[in-house]
Amino acid sequence: MLQFTSQEITRIREKVTNELIEKLIADNFDVLNSETLVPPDARATWNLYYFCPEHGVRLNWDRKSPTTHACPIDNQQFCGEPYDGAWWRWLNTLNSKACYELGLLWQLTQDPKYLSKVKDILLQYAQYYPDYEVHGGIPYNGPGKANAQTLCEANCHLDFARGYDFISDELSDADKHFIEERLLREGAVFLIEHRTDQLHNHEMKINATIGIIGLLLQEKAYLEFALNSKYGLHYQLNKGCLGEGMWFEGSIHYHYYALQALLAYEKVAWNTEYSVSNNPNLKRMLKFPLKLLMTEKYFPRLNDCIAGQEELSHVHIFEFANKLFPNEVFNKALNTIYQTMSRNNLEALLYGDDAYAATEMLSCSSIHAPDAGYTLGYESESKNSYLLKHSPYGGEHDHYDRLGLIIVRNGQEILPDLGTTGYGACLHKQYYKTSSTHNTLVVNQSNQPPINPIVHMYLEQDGYQFVDTEVNWGTKLAEVDSHTIDEWDTEAYTNVRFRRCILWLGDALIELITVHNPDSQRLDLTYHARGQHLLNPSWTAVENTLDGPLSIMKNCHERKSIYEQSLVYRIDGQSDYKQTVVTDSCCDFLVGNAPDNPATSDLAYLLVTSRSPVLNTLVLHDLSESGHYQINDTQWQDNSVTFMVTNNEEQVFFQYDFSSCLLIRNVLHS
Q: Facing residues of 375 across strands?
A: 368, 388
Q: Which of 184-198, 353-367, 379-393, 577-591 has the lowest mean pLDDT?
A: 353-367
Position 670 scores a pLDDT of 66
pLDDT in tens, 1-34: 999 999 999 999 999 999 999 999 999 999 999 9
Q: How many CB atoms neighbour CB 348 within 10 A?
A: 20
Burial of 457 (0-12, 13-18, 19+ CB in 10 A): middle
pLDDT in tens, 187-238: 999 999 999 999 999 999 999 999 999 999 999 999 999 999 999 999 999 9
Residue 56 pLDDT more than 80? yes
Position 13 scores a pLDDT of 97
C-alpha to C-alpha distances, 363 to 311, 327, 360, 665, nearest whole angstrom: 15, 16, 9, 29
Residue 406 pLDDT more than 90? yes
Closest CA to 458 of 363, 371, 383, 393: 371
Position 137 scores a pLDDT of 87
CB within 8 Å of 538: residues ≥ 6 apart: 559
pLDDT band with cut points at 50, 70 and 90 for residue 251? very high
Distance CA 513, CA 460 (A): 19
User: CA angle, corner 569, sides to 432 and 462, nearest 5?
Assistant: 90
Position 668 scores a pLDDT of 86
pLDDT in tens, 273-323: 999 999 999 999 999 999 999 998 999 999 999 988 999 999 999 999 999
Plot region of 16 (φ>0 → left; ψ -120 to 50 → alpha; else → beta)? beta
- Chain-centroid distance of CA 73 in Å reads 24
